[in-house]
Structure 1
């Protein structure tokens, strides 16, 4: 039997490409022999394959559900095909809608879904809270605090005059030079303002209004130490009247002076002005203390009522419009109540009656000053605000400055420094200034010279110092012929630059390239900002060699010179000069700008 059929067993059409077959004849022995031989052969991997014997094959029963069979046709031209069993069983069949609904309302699955939902949001909120906590609590680099007006500005010291009319005329010039404040002497003695009939306060208020129109803040100088011997307080104290009996420092010795017949001096304390600090009062039969003039008896600041009177004085001036208070002679305000003797100094140039003959450990820098200054500083701040000034004047009678002797001098806003004389001893001055401005104290500082013409040039140099420049002589103003490089207000604007407010500093005594003495130079810079360097020459005209200073590159740019310096040097704005050859005329300042070196370059 033979024929042509397709793979499904149907009769094949003529045009179809089909394979043909011929049934095997059971009686053909040759075919059977070949088939038996093929049952035993070697596989490709050397394993021996054998067909089962007929009796073994009969024992194996294979049942295949044809509904799970799948026919796969390959190339129909040569008849290749294969059958995949269990093909349909491999397909995954999910739950039906009805089956899912059975679980949707099941209490167990409902609770589980809510638990997972709440757990997700709880974890999400926890992570959010942790992220916020990390951001808030992580260490941060706080921006540097902005400088107060009395730190970045210039202050004019006009305490030598209490003529408000004269001071009013100067206000426009101070404003044009970008001056921020001024020290003035009140129009009356310190304690006279307590008299209700005193006419000084209205005059002061009028001056304050003029100063405000010119953007100038006024700081009053007050001397709390003494009143006049003609003052009613002293007269009442002489008579031992009530509370006034203890308003002043009285004392008497038990020993008698054979020459005068009066009791001896209580001790050997000397006046700041020279001579004995004690004067006999015949009416009271005691000595009164005066560390200054005989007509200026010292008040007793161990007496709370005296402290209260001066606190009232401060309130009056602050309420009248003052921007702060500076105390004169404050370091001698309180004396040791035991009246112990002073210690001899090693000053061989002083005589027995000279003030410098002793170390003044009993009559100055009393520990009680810290609490008094703190109280008055808080009082000023309460009335005048956070940027109100409370400080003390340093006249050089006592050295070093009070704030350098105390661990805590924060009540001084800002601290004051003794005026520094700039002369040929540049090396000593540089060492002194470096010590003064260490620890970022930013004190009030005035540079002075024996040559009055040098004062404006010293103010220009002081603009770059990490201190508040103070000047006591008028500054030259700009006119129509002033060049940009000569403009003093243009220079003062640098005080608000980041390099000066928060930058690094280098203060050095630099050599002259052409021999001779040394010059003083101050460089200020901050990464990412323009750097500036000021050079002052206290001697004869010379070329400054600045190559040894930190942060300076090989060339600098002229930023500011005075008209006189411009005429001598021919320096103009933005002119480039070599760092080792900066020409600086005598008693003059040259200010230059530059791009600071990086740390690696330095």
Structure 2
């Protein structure tokens, strides 16, 4: 057997070389022969089948060009082929210029062009008018309502023994609070002293706020005591408790009046106790008829052109219908006893939750007969939420007198109380009354005139024109307030500022030594403040370098002499 050798040299062996069965024809000769061949020799091939794939990929109305293939294996011209492709369709070139001009003058196209032209401009004008109307009719930000006359202040209150001829009021006083000393449910003409005082103040072109006590009256007490069906529920009656030792009667519960005596008194006629915390029978304001009676009282005073009403003892108007005993105040002074007012919590007789609704009803009576006349209360609000309806206070300018009526003025405590009043209790515009002697009166006036709210001043006190002018600025009437304790709680300060107006900075030194305040370092919102303008200072301020009103001074070293106050003006920057 012959041996087979494997050649890995990559060269082709002569024995394995492929031998051609025909003579290769050059490509150029093939093309020349194909062109010179007669057409009769070119026939369609019937052996080659087509699957129609090419036709399926073209649109239905476009015919696939016919391909004619000649492939006769017996022919010596093996491999020759002729392709016959159908002529391409002529492309659409559009209308000529002459044809377009012929249509341009056609009446139909002329009318269509004019219609589209007019429609475009009508729509454009309509959109312009619509845009202007939207801008004009869009709801705008309402400007802040101007402060009412009583919010502008200052107000004064006169004593019940002040004679009419002694009335001398400053022209800047906006309103006078006049106490009504007799039963308001009786005829007003029965109290000519108070009525004449009201008329005399009105002749001075001052508005009058009359102070009434709605809770105490004995006008219908006799009828109620005799169980008259119409007036039986006008007062609060309760049967007494039977003592176990001698079967005698005692008070219905442990309710104590502010006078440190029982709030109950016994009626020998009715043989029951009636509620009387202020020495007169207390009306039952859970009786709708009693509520209407006081509404009539308000209307009678308003008919005399009284501008507003202030209520005394408003917190005591309602009592708890369960008549349960008061709870003991666990934080009370341990030296107090069971028969003293401060020993109990008084949750059953003071500032009940329904109080706001009752006051709101009377407030509506006032608003219906006056232009935003005030309904005020004569005491500070104990439980502020009891005076709200839908989270809105129903009393105007709640009194704030405790903060500035202490024997000493603690800067830290005062700043905390002010922030609590504005931010926690949510009292936006209180009525400030200052009675302390810890600092001079004109220093107190700087504080209560420029804090948010209105000042309640003494009847004989004059209003400083400069304080009045500063108070009229937008920053005081509308600005926000920030209260600060400076220099380790030795200097009280607050700022008032509103966008678009100069800011007002008040600094008060209640101590006995001079203090030098670096405002940018002490008040974070004014960290970039460089200079201030002197607007006003108290009469006892005695630093000659800062005594020039209107002068601009550096904000980094402001001297405050002992027991003095100063009002400065500054230009707020963005974010201050």
Aligned to 1:427: 412
Give the whole-Å Cα distance in 2 for the aligned partners of 1:200 and 1:236: 29
Give the whole-Å Cα distance in 2 for the aligned partners of 1:464 and 1:595: 18
Deviation at 1:141, TM superposition (A): 4.3
Does the aligned pair in 2 maintain the 1:208–1:322 contact within 8 Å?
Answer: no
Q: 1:535 aligns with which of 501, 504, 507?
A: 507
1:520 aligned counterpart, secondary structure: strand
Deviation at 1:129, TM superposition (A): 5.0
Q: 1:169 aligns with which of 167, 170, 182?
A: 167
Deviation at 1:344, TM superposition (A): 1.7
Does the aligned pair in 1 maintain the 2:401–2:435 contact within 8 Å?
Answer: no
Deviation at 1:465, TM superposition (A): 0.9
Deviation at 1:149, TM superposition (A): 2.4
1:475 aligns with 2:461: yes
Q: Which runs of 5+ in 2 are unaligned?
A: 1-95
- Rate the CA distance shift 1:452–1:188 in 2: closer, same or farther, 3 A: farther
User: Could you state the TM-score of these two structures normalised by the residue count of structure 2?
Assistant: 0.73
1:233 aligns with 2:216: no
1:451 aligns with 2:440: no
Give the whole-Å Cα distance in 2 for the aligned partners of 1:333 and 1:366: 9
Which region of structure 1 is more displaced relative to structure 2, 261-270 or 329-338? Answer: 261-270
Does the aligned pair in 2 maintain the 1:568–1:585 contact within 8 Å?
Answer: no
Deviation at 1:428, TM superposition (A): 1.8
Give the whole-Å Cα distance in 1 for the aligned partners of 2:494 and 2:378: 25
Aligned to 1:9: none
Does the aligned pair in 2 maintain the 1:455–1:473 contact within 8 Å?
Answer: no
1:186 aligns with 2:180: yes
Aligned to 1:572: 548
1:420 aligned counterpart, secondary structure: coil
1:463 aligned counterpart, secondary structure: helix
Does the aligned pair in 2 maintain the 1:340–1:362 contact within 8 Å?
Answer: yes
2:174 aligned counterpart, secondary structure: strand
Give the whole-Å Cα distance in 1 for the aligned partners of 2:543 and 2:201: 40
Q: 1:244 aligns with which of 214, 223, 231?
A: 231
Give the whole-Å Cα distance in 2 for the aligned partners of 1:255 and 1:279: 15
**1:171-223 deviation per Cα after TM superposition (whole angstroms, max 9, x unaligned):** 2xx21xx23222111254322236x65546752552243231xxx32211111
Deviation at 1:145, TM superposition (A): 3.0
**1:141-178 deviation per Cα after TM superposition (whole angstroms, max 9, x unaligned):** 443332222223222233x3353515x6222xx21xx2
Q: 2:196 aligns with which of 192, 195, 203?
A: 203
Give the whole-Å Cα distance in 2 for the aligned partners of 1:442 and 1:527: 19
- Rate the CA distance shift 1:334–1:117 in 2: closer, same or farther, 3 A: same
**1:14-60 deviation per Cα after TM superposition (whole angstroms, max 9, x unaligned):** xxxxxxxxxxxxxxxxxxxxxxxxxxxxxxxxxxxxxxxxxxxxxxx
Does the aligned pair in 1 maintain the 2:470–2:476 contact within 8 Å?
Answer: yes
- Rate the CA distance shift 1:403–1:427 in 2: closer, same or farther, 3 A: farther
- Rate the CA distance shift 1:505–1:577 in 2: closer, same or farther, 3 A: same
Give the whole-Å Cα distance in 1 for the aligned partners of 2:382 and 2:219: 35
Residue correspondences, number: 472
Give the whole-Å Cα distance in 2 for the aligned partners of 1:569 and 1:257: 80
- Rate the CA distance shift 1:568–1:327 in 2: closer, same or farther, 3 A: farther
Deviation at 1:529, TM superposition (A): 2.3
Does the aligned pair in 2 maintain the 1:255–1:263 contact within 8 Å?
Answer: yes
Q: Which runs of 5+ in 1 are unaligned?
A: 1-89, 478-487
Does the aligned pair in 2 maintain the 1:520–1:535 contact within 8 Å?
Answer: yes
Aligned to 2:53: none
Correspondence list, 1:576-587, <5 A: 576-587=552-563
2:167 aligned counterpart, secondary structure: helix
1:470 aligned counterpart, secondary structure: strand
Give the whole-Å Cα distance in 1 for the aligned partners of 2:97 and 2:235: 112
**1:337-383 deviation per Cα after TM superposition (whole angstroms, max 9, x unaligned):** 22122222123313212222222221122232222111111110111
Aligned to 1:438: 423
Aligned to 1:221: 211
Aligned to 1:18: none
Give the whole-Å Cα distance in 2 for the aligned partners of 1:385 and 1:474: 28
1:302 aligns with 2:318: no
- Rate the CA distance shift 1:251–1:404 in 2: closer, same or farther, 3 A: closer
Deviation at 1:333, TM superposition (A): 0.2
Deviation at 1:136, TM superposition (A): 4.9
Deviation at 1:281, TM superposition (A): 1.7
Give the whole-Å Cα distance in 1 for the aligned partners of 2:532 and 2:191: 58
Which region of structure 1 is more displaced relative to structure 2, 321-330 or 584-593? Answer: 584-593
1:329 aligns with 2:313: yes
Correspondence list, 1:124-143, <5 A: 124-132=124-132, 134-136=134-136, 140-143=140-143
Q: 1:505 aligns with which of 472, 481, 487?
A: 481
Give the whole-Å Cα distance in 2 for the aligned partners of 1:437 and 1:211: 34
Deviation at 1:300, TM superposition (A): 0.7
Correspondence list, 1:46-57, <5 A: none
Correspondence list, 1:235-314, <5 A: 235-256=222-243, 258=245, 262-292=248-278, 295-314=279-298
Deviation at 1:118, TM superposition (A): 5.9
Aligned to 2:155: 155
Does the aligned pair in 1 maintain the 2:210–2:308 contact within 8 Å?
Answer: yes
Deviation at 1:406, TM superposition (A): 6.4
- Rate the CA distance shift 1:272–1:118 in 2: closer, same or farther, 3 A: farther
Deviation at 1:474, TM superposition (A): 3.5
- Rate the CA distance shift 1:300–1:91 in 2: closer, same or farther, 3 A: closer
Give the whole-Å Cα distance in 1 for the aligned partners of 2:257 and 2:181: 26
1:411 aligns with 2:394: yes
**1:394-429 deviation per Cα after TM superposition (whole angstroms, max 9, x unaligned):** 24xx63445677652343233443531363421122
- Rate the CA distance shift 1:544–1:326 in 2: closer, same or farther, 3 A: farther
Give the whole-Å Cα distance in 2 for the aligned partners of 1:527 and 1:302: 47
Aligned to 2:10: none
